Chains A and B, each alone.
Chain A
């Protein structure tokens, strides 16, 4: 079986914010990952770890004081160097669909859902008016499970779950190969979380093979990620510290990076214990491992930057599925 080319390929992506006073803020450092067609990659991490900045970088929506490095290839287009015209005209909505955080703030408050869907369809599909447009609006609403009899409502008349579906419907209109969901479930109750992520998953599964859609879901909701993700990337203080299969991560043998392991243990259906301390400031990161100050496995070695081996950036990772300790040590020594 040949592996289809990735929908999105991120290599060495870094984002720095230049501040008028003080040190630059290293929001994202050297992120590397692929999103394959038909795959859901969940990007996990605490609030303030740089996840949403990464999403903004992919969409070209960073503020003026941001500097980027590395590349993010969508097909053969590097999103980091593409100009605004290309991004606005061919990428946003067309090649990347965005499912936003807090749809209530994303939707236009003074217009009905029908009117907003209609606008997006005429922009992206060129269907301007008449019965064809109305038909397309109904189809788009149906795809996200948005009820037809609520189309003439304004955003404030919708419950959180319906507003989320309206936003999802808008994101699906362009039939983009990459869906980017930025905290799509914040503030929703468990049932709505499940329904929302299931809809996203269904969109990914709708096509197979090289034509499949990829989903990058940015979230701090571990249960939502467990439900739909194929692979998991864990971000800590701007770096991806663990990248691996979701089954192994949530099941046995469990996460391998001590941070990911403690994060899972914080869940109320697991140990329900917090990680001591707080994440470091992104403007004042240590030279070595950023998690060392909170880590029970930390040694003197952790004041140096850990190499990334098998997707794990740690000097003292937990045991992996098949990697015996001596191979880990040897690989680590080779890279160092």
Chain B
């Protein structure tokens, strides 16, 4: 179970982006979080993925409170998450080929020997062909790069997937293709999903249940009151 309990988070002292937010994702469940631009939903996704330390409140992962964040988080907790961000160009090292990009998490965790096989398998899953794997990010389209970023997020077989506006830059067909990849991974592994976005139609179609940001914040901050 992934629990956010009364979390307050932000980037400057006394200026929380959001205040007292609680959210729970159970294993195998897909939760969609809908909110307008600038409401703080991406910050929430970062907190849930252990990428941003909240100012107060707790993140509890399978009953164990999270104490350390980002690179200080224990490997077992860190690698339990696969994260896909909105802009593939900003989340891909421009010097790596797509194949190196996808296998990087394996190298970082000292499992390089299985890499070749896993990359080939995942490339097939996300629909990347062999000649694309040898290219660097500037040689592929946004959609192709996001496919690689999704493969990278799945390569450590995470128990939790956090997708922050994963499809906002993509056309309808690529969107449907990537959502189908996430869903078939989840039905094979029972992973839980937190999908954050602004497209209500998409998230309602994709997720088991969808929460609206305004219902999530107990005391809305002045910035997002209607």
Interface hit among B60-68, B72-80, B97-105, B140-148 = B140-148
Per the bound structure, the CA–CA distance linking A284 and B192 in Å amounts to 40
Q: Select one of A46, A189, A264, A269 contacting B198, CB under 8 A.
A: A189
**A159–B198 Cα gap in the complex (Å)?**
15
Would you call B172 and A160 a contact (CB within 8 A)? Answer: no
Known contacts A191-B36, A220-B172; A278 and B206 CB within 8 A of each other: no
Any B CB within 8 A of the CB of A267: yes
The answer to whether B14 has its CB under 8 Å from any CB of chain A is no
Q: Which of B38, B127, B142, B179 contacts A272 (CB under 8 A)? A: B179
State the Cβ distance, B47 to closest chain A Cβ, in Å: 21
Q: How far is the CB of B201 from chain A (nearest CB, A)?
A: 5
Contact A266 B172 (CB under 8 A): yes
**A46 and B171 in contact, given A189-B37, A274-B180 (Cβ under 8 angstroms):** yes
Contact residue among B127, B168, B171 (Cβ-Cβ distance under 8 Å from A47) = B171
- Are A278 and B144 CB-contacts (below 8 A) given A161-B37, A187-B168? yes
* Given known contacts A46-B173, A278-B129, A268 and B205 CB-to-CB distance under 8 angstroms: yes
Q: Is the CB of A159 within 8 A of B37?
A: yes
Report how far A45 CA is from B127 CA in the complex, Å. Answer: 19
Contact B171 A269 (CB under 8 A): no
Q: Mark A56-69, 1 if CB is under 8 A from B, else 0.
A: 00000000000000
Residue in contact with B172 in the complex, picked from A48, A188, A263, CB distance below 8 Å: A263
Q: Report yes or no: B173 in contact with A262, Cβ–Cβ below 8 A.
A: yes
Question: Which residues from 169 to 184 on chain B have a C-beta closer than 8 Å to any C-beta of chain A?
Answer: 169-177, 179-180
Any B CB within 8 A of the CB of A190: yes
The residue in A45, A48, A192 that gathers the most chain B C-beta atoms within 10 A of its C-beta is: A48
- CB-defined interface of B201-217 with A at 8 Å, one 1/0 digit per residue? 11011100000000000
B200 at the interface (CB under 8 A from A): yes
A160 and B38 contact, CB distance less than 8 A: yes
Given A161-B37, A190-B198, do A269 and B173 touch, yes or no (CB 8 Å)?
no
Does A208 have its Cβ within 8 Å of any Cβ on chain B? Answer: no
Query: In the bound complex, how far is the Cα of B169 from the Cα of A47, in angstroms?
Result: 9
* Residues of the A chain whose Cβ atoms lie less than 8 Å from the Cβ of B204: 268
Query: Does chain A have a CB within 8 A of B199?
Result: yes
CB contact between B169 and one of A160, A186, A277 (< 8 Å): that residue: A186
A81 interfacial by beta-carbon distance below 8 Å: no
Residue on A with the closest CB to B178? Answer: A274
Do A269 and B129 touch (CB < 8 A)? no
Chain A residues with CB under 8 Å of B129's CB are 278
| Contacts beyond the supplied A47-B141, A189-B36, A274-B177: 11 A-B pairs with Cβ under 8 Å | A46-B141, A46-B143, A47-B170, A47-B171, A160-B37, A189-B37, A190-B200, A220-B171, A267-B172, A273-B176, A278-B129
B residues touching A (Cβ–Cβ < 8 Å)? 36-38, 86-87, 127, 129, 141-144, 165, 168-177, 179-180, 198-202, 204-206
Q: Can you list 18 A-B pairs with a CB-CB distance of less than 8 A?
A: A46-B173, A46-B174, A47-B174, A186-B169, A187-B86, A187-B169, A190-B198, A190-B199, A220-B171, A220-B172, A266-B171, A268-B176, A268-B199, A268-B201, A269-B205, A273-B176, A275-B177, A278-B144
